[in-house]
Structure 1
Amino acid sequence: MTTPAGQGHKQGAREADPGLDAILSERRQLMSVAYRLLGSVAEAEDAVQETCARWYALSPEQREAIASPGAWLTTVAGRVCLNVLSSARVRRETYVGEWIPEPLPDGTEWATARSGGGSGDPADRVALDESVHLAFLVVLDSMTPAERVAFVLHDVFCLSFAEVARIVGRTPGACRQLASSARRRVRAARPAAVPAVERAGVVREFRRAWETQDIDALIGLLDPGATATADGGGRAVTFPHPIEGGERIAGALLEIARHRSGDLALLERTVSGQPGLVAVRDGVVVSVFAFDVADGRITRIWVMRNPEKLSHWTADRTGAMRSST
């Protein structure tokens, strides 16, 4: 009986390195952790790569002595991300314009939560699907690195505070306090629950109003206290500072529509788990829009224009999402 070449290669690699199974089985989990800790797919991939490199830097005897490779990998990934977060604060001081976490296209999520561990009121916990929403990631970005790591690993991935303590380098009690402080921030910023179908309807009406340059409809869809924030990273033209107020945002959108070239398509698409929009020109995704909605109106708009943060968005996948006007 013959074995397919690819399968034989994988089997041979696993026989040569039994620990490879641990890496392969945990990679999705590690990406889930790293993305939520860093808010960047590229940085998450680098962190996971560094974690794997540290695994292979161990001798075979050292790897064999590790009782739970998954727990070891998660611990190392957490420490790598903590270091990245600390240095990221310095880098973002020189970032051009506003910094927004990298939005996820639908289908690139790696949701594989650890079961068990952790404690506390389940109502206080953040579901995995909620933890990729832009609004949530923006709140995470306002936390200290230690707060973010303690909160994400405990409240999202259900690690015990004893496990978190080994990553953060503090006592379990201190980590409990860090997570509690972070939890208060999340509660204060958490928007009201809005059904996905309602969100999608508001986003659809927004798209139509923008495309038809209906200023009255735009103002009606925007909360008077709405805020629009854009991230161009100095690599794409956008408004440099957040725009406050529904009427001001509507005016800015209308100005953009008037100068928009005719070959730009505005498509409905799932953005970080929520109804959103993407702008495509010449087969390339050039902008991604995420929204927060409350009481039938848009309260927040996040616009990603930095091409480095759009590398995981492809126009061929958005084409199927084009909706009729």
Structure 2
Amino acid sequence: MKRPIALGAVALGVVAAVLGTVVGTTGVLDGWPDLIGYSATLVVGRALLVFAVGALLYGSYRLAVGVLMRSANKRRAYNTRNLLRLVFGFVGTVATLAVLTENWLGLLFSLGVIGFAVTFALQQPLLSLIAWVYITVKQPYGVGDRVRIDDAKGDVIGVDFLVTTLWEINGELVTTNQPSGRVVTVPNSVVLSSNVVNFGGGGSPYVWNEIGIQVAYETDLDFAREVMAEEASDLLGDEMAAGIAAYREALAETPVELEVHDRPTVNVTQGESWVELRVRYLTHPRQGQRVKNRLYERILERFNDAPDRVAFPVSRSR
């Protein structure tokens, strides 16, 4: 449906351009009365040319976007579409003003002078536009990523010229990594002056996560660590194996050298009246809370089934 509309717009633009040229050069409307204080030839001819510019650019833009949307890489298509919007908008503005004034050189000079003045008046929007270019080129994040920008955290649902739109997680309404239902807009300029955290944006969609459980000193630590690693491996299974492969592949593209274990590991931390066991595993950031809840339940169930080997601290301060 969109392709016929785009082709129709291009065809109308060509027809309008031809008619505008004919009206402006042949004088077929010389006998008509003036319109809004100007000759009919001038008003009708330039109106047709302005319409031709708009129709041709709109049709061309729709055709280009239609081709882009067929790409398997939706993020790249989205960024390219935004760039096309900027380019076509600029070309359309210049072409329209040029048709109305018939003075390309003077128009470009005027735009330069006006642009210099506008730079001082619109510093923040221009900074956001520059940041949009940076985001598009360097891609610290893209549509679909889970990020934290300054104090806003969420899933990116839009990166426009001036703002980035997030589907909020955490926030003031919830305390876990779940959507709150609110949409947050962040000026792109914030990206240039604040820390940006991309959860899973280092070339791999997986991140490391941990669960900590406090046990008493009387606990059989070897048994407890084995149970935690076993339950994590059983729950994550092939998903973690795929995540490890993707993580190693992404790591190989960097100068960083890290030891990456094939299965979950358990670290021990000594507390004042307890020992904290933390199981470390790899998971997708959007599944982090779900995996944590399920794994916590499974580990506690196994611990409760072995009261002679696992004891919990008596203090209520933990």
* TM-score, length basis structure 1: 0.25
Larger Rg: 2
Q: Which has the higher contact order (CA 8 A, sep 6+)?
A: 1
* TM-score, length basis structure 2: 0.25
